[in-house]
Amino acid sequence: MRRDPKPIPLLDLTLQFRSLESELRAALDEVLSTQHFIMGPVVAEFEDDLAAYCRVSHAFGVSSGTDALLAALMALEVGPGDEVITTPYTFFATAGSIARLGAVPVFVDIRPDTFNLDPALASRAITKRTKGLLPVHLFGQMADMEPLLDIAQEHGFWVVEDAAQAIGAELEGRRAGSLGRVGCFSFFPSKNLGCFGDGGAVTTTDGDLAERLDILRNHGARPKYHHQIVGGNFRLDAVQAAVLRVKLPHLDSWTEARRANAARYRRLFVEAGLAMSSDRSNTSPSPADAPVVLPYERPGRRHIYNQFVIRARKRDALITYLRENNIGCEVYYPLPLHLQPCFAYLGYREGDFPVAEAAAQETLAIPIYPELTEKQQERVVEVIAGFYRG
């Protein structure tokens, strides 16, 4: 009897943990022995390492990627009635953080090739109430920062980068989080740099803003019990900082492994006749000759592949088939934000953002984690080929 091959999960964190287990345990032990859990030297050291990595002058650890976004918008004094232009095709927190401050998320559609905010549409959405732009570097590839920064400069407002999925991503050699007024990062376990729970960071090159971010994450207090502004408890734990300090030096080798896996998938998909080698015009899975569209990597960018997202013909049936064959996959994201029940009050309708809506119907993330083997990738592609053979 044939034994089922071992399942291939979308992400397997145990392999990375085992490769660093003794170092991680030692770092945790050190925090435990000091019993210093809130802020302190480990957090400060990690912030220095992170600032150097992101090539910015200031980085501050915060409690999550969501709180990074919230703190950034609070530091920029976003409030009721203000409008912030963003993408409907992202994780909820991007727009949720705008709405939580009483401001209005103004959605504009995405580019069909990269799934990132379309800058031409962004400039058309500007009103007197626009305070800034909040692009997302989706799946690990940087958004079109040059035109977005130009628009912002022309109108005198800011750009905040949601870089939660894009630590180490580059645009013409410049790193994610170093181009906008603030960069927001997440260390949620499934991000490329993940901690042992929730964590995040904000980056900036603006000294005054850095000061505000630094005190905002600690109830706006400076000195202690003297509150300059109304902030929150947005601190990063020393335990998480200790984990992140151990992991950060390995991030680039993990990213290179993800990129190598992406290159291998490209070869395998094309060889199997499932996809054409990717080019910009190739943004729909409908042509009969190629059921899969590969992720498009724009020139001049370092894509860090937090997710390897394909467009697939008969996507939902393919998901069922992959699950039957024990291959992990996930839809990021099945319902664009303009159609979420909580944003009904914004008045958007189905059909408002056709590119985002099509992406929600057609896209699928398949395993890309650094430790994924060539054999496993071959099996993923074989199973997908088997599905389309019928």
CB of 22 to ligand PLP, least distance (A): 27
Query: For residues 169-198, which are near ligand PLP according to CB under 6 A?
Result: 186, 188, 198
DSSP state, 111?
P
**Identity of the residue, 91 or 265, whose beta carbon is nearer to ligand PLP in the bound complex:** 91
- CB nearer ligand PLP, residue 59 or residue 93: 93
Distance, CA of 100 to CA of 109 (rounded, Å): 22
Q: Which residues pair with 301 in a beta bridge?
A: 171
Does residue 333 belong to the site contacting ligand PLP (CB under 6 A)? Answer: no
Nearest approach, Cβ of residue 287 and ligand PLP (Å): 30
Nearer to ligand PLP, 152 or 164 (CB): 164
CA angle, 311 then 331 then 244, to 5°: 115
- Closest approach of Cβ 96 to ligand PLP, in Å? 9
Q: Out of 165, 178, 205, 261, which residue is the one contacting ligand PLP (CB under 6 A)? A: 165
Q: Is 296 within 8 Å of 113 (Cβ atoms)?
A: yes
Name the residue nearer to ligand PLP (CB basis): 90 or 363. 90
Considering only the stretches 8-16, 60-68, 145-153, 310-318, report the one whose residues sit in contact with ligand PLP under the rule CB under 6 A.
60-68
Question: Long-range contacts: 379-384, Cβ < 8 Å, 24+?
Answer: 379/5, 379/8, 379/327, 380/8, 380/265, 380/327, 381/265, 381/268, 381/269, 381/272, 381/274, 382/272, 383/321, 383/322, 383/325, 383/327, 384/269, 384/272, 384/274, 384/292, 384/312, 384/318, 384/322
Site for ligand PLP contains 377 (CB under 6 A): no
Residue 113 identity (one-letter amino acid): D
Stretch touching ligand PLP by CB under 6 A, among 91-99, 242-250, 312-320, 342-350 = 91-99
Q: Does 47 participate in binding ligand PLP (rule CB under 6 A)?
A: no
Q: Which residues contact ligand PLP (rule: CB under 6 A)?
A: 64-66, 90-91, 93-94, 136, 162, 164-165, 186, 188, 198, 200
